[in-house]
Amino acid sequence: MTTTYQSIPVKGGVNVFYRAAGDPSKPVLVLFHGFPASSHQYRKLIPLLATKYRVIAPDYPGFGFTTAPADYVYTFDALADTTASFLEALNITHCSAYIFDYGAPVAYRLACQGRIKFDAIISQNANAYMEGFGHPFWDPIMALWDSGNAPENRQALRDAAITLEFFKDHYVDGVPEEAIKRFSPDGYTFDFLLASRPGYPEIHLDLFYDYRTNPALYPSFQEYFRSSKVLLLLVWGKNDIAFIATGAEAHRKDRPDAKIVLLDTGHFAL
């Protein structure tokens, strides 16, 4: 199936870039990307899904090819609001969702706010429980939270996280040794080049700091699981160091019917 590459203006002067494929008459499946990626991470998945679905994969502001005005404030509330405006611009009122990493706090905000109805959710290392944390990976990020966004903590995190080595590790940690040779460097190299553009490291640091707002919303996300009865499939890389596998298993507290599949790989399971 042919993938098209389009942009559409939405509220607040944002121009959202997105990839699309599939028959417009088919059920809609929206792909929510994570850090440090963009819709580019779904470039191989989109044609496979497009045989049965209308597939839409947007870039958030600060990622990929979406552009935002200089005064855009990079928070997860803002990313969710822009994504809602994007879906409204495409006249999408309900869809299924594939969510990954940052896609969880974006998509679950929309669901809890009633701004979109999800028919089904595929959660791939998309955390919604405190049990998903638990690795030293989070230490410098949580130090930034605890410092109140202190300049010295921002600098330390910039030095540690906005590097090609960190991006590569984020992709390949937890991948079995025999599979590394099949792991293309395209994704993490592309992500790093985009994240290195002037001003973009600060965007990522702003979002690292704002991530502290997401755990506070986990009870609301969990209530959504209970009340909506949305079809829920969790497919996680069990060796992920960003969101550990107990975060997937924790969903059983609120949705014992959820299907959970743990794969022998890391964060970027695709």
Domain with 55, as residue range(s), is 4-133+214-263
Q: CB count, 10 Å around CB of 70?
A: 6
The CA distance from 121 to 144, in Å, is 31
Mean pLDDT over the full length of the chain = 96
pTM score, whole prediction? 0.97
In tens, the pLDDT along 115-168 reads 999 999 999 999 999 999 977 889 999 999 999 999 999 999 999 999 999 999
Number of domains in the chain: 1
**167 is a domain residue:** no
User: Would you say residue 152 lies in a domain?
Assistant: no
Residue 16 included in any domain? yes
* Closest C-alpha among 129, 162, 156 to residue 251: 129
* Confidence at residue 93, expressed as pLDDT on a 0 to 100 scale: 94
> Does residue 187 lie within any of the structural domains?
no
Tens digit of each residue's pLDDT (9 = 90 or more) over 197-240: 999 999 999 999 999 999 999 999 999 999 999 999 999 999 99
Domain membership flag for residue 155: no
Residues identified as active-site: 267
In a domain, 192, yes or no: no
Q: Is residue 165 part of a domain?
A: no
pLDDT at 152: 97
Is 140 among the domain residues? no
DSSP class of residue 171?
H
Report the distance separating Cα 98 and Cα 74, nearest Å: 22
CATH number at residue 45: 3.40.50.1820
